Structure formats: structure tokens, C-alpha cells
Amino acid sequence: MAIEQGEIIAVESDRVWVKCQTQSACTSCSAKSSCGTSVLAKAFPVRTQELVIKTSEPFQIGQTVALTVADKALLTAAFQVYLLPLLGLMLGAAIAPLLAPISYQELSSIGGGLLGLSLGLVFAKRVHQKNQHHPLDDIQINHK
């Protein structure tokens, strides 16, 4: 489970607004002192993100809370966002040259890859819409 800390910034009867700071993975890495990527991560400002989460528990403004997301929800979201378009790209790039004349195989591979990527993105969007499941529904908010 992924756990993140946040602060309550607004409360309504059935939902709360939580402000979280997005952090780079570099902050917890043991090689951050000798890595160029961590230098880049320090150069960019820390961003905040506001989430609206449905809850029936009472919270107060300014209260620190722990947000938890199930591993299954993270893997499902990653599959939809990354894997489906990537599979489309690779399948399109692999299949298109088989259908094109020999003199156009490189060009057809590029075109097939772009077409497969586009179809993968459209398919991922349709899968998301079909599920009618909002990712924020998988976040549990707990008193700290």
C-alpha cells in the first residue's frame, strides 16, 4: 500500500479537501548524493496537489491525515495509462512492416507504431470510461 500524508484544507458533510505535497522518489533513495537526477529534482519546486475525497468520518481543517491507496488500484491505473499504449506502439511497429512492400518497411514501421500508439491511447480511454470507476474512490483517509 502506498501511504502519503496530507492536510485537511476544507470540510463538507460527505467529503474533505486534502492538500498533499508531491515528492520526488529521490528523497528516499540511498544514492541521492551521487546521482545527477537528484540534482535535477532539487532544482524544481515542490508542488502541491488538492484532492477531494468522500468520507463519512469527521475531520477538522488543518488536521494531518494519512492517505492510503491499495496496490491493486495503483497497478490497474499504471496498466491503463502506460501498458496499453505501449503495447499498441510495439504491435503496430511490428505488424505494419509485414503488410508493406520491402522498400517501405522502415516507414511503415514508424507509421504503424504511431497508429498503434494512438489506438492504444483510445482503447485505454474507453476502458477507463467503461469502468466508471474514479481513481479517488480507492483512496482511504485515516486520522493521523
Q: Give the pLDDT confidence of 108-126 residue by residue, as tens digits.
A: 999 999 999 999 999 988 8
Please compute the mean of the pLDDT values over residues 2-19 and round it to a whole number.
86
How does residue 30 score in pLDDT terms, banded at 50, 70 and 90?
low
| Whole-prediction pTM | 0.59
How does residue 137 score in pLDDT terms, banded at 50, 70 and 90?
low
pLDDT of the residue at 21: 75
Residue 38 CA, chain-centre distance (Å), reads 21
Report which of 100, 92, 99 is spatially closest to residue 119, judged by C-alpha positions: 92
In the chain, % of residues over pLDDT 90: 28
Q: Which three three-digit cell numbers place residue 45? A: 519546486
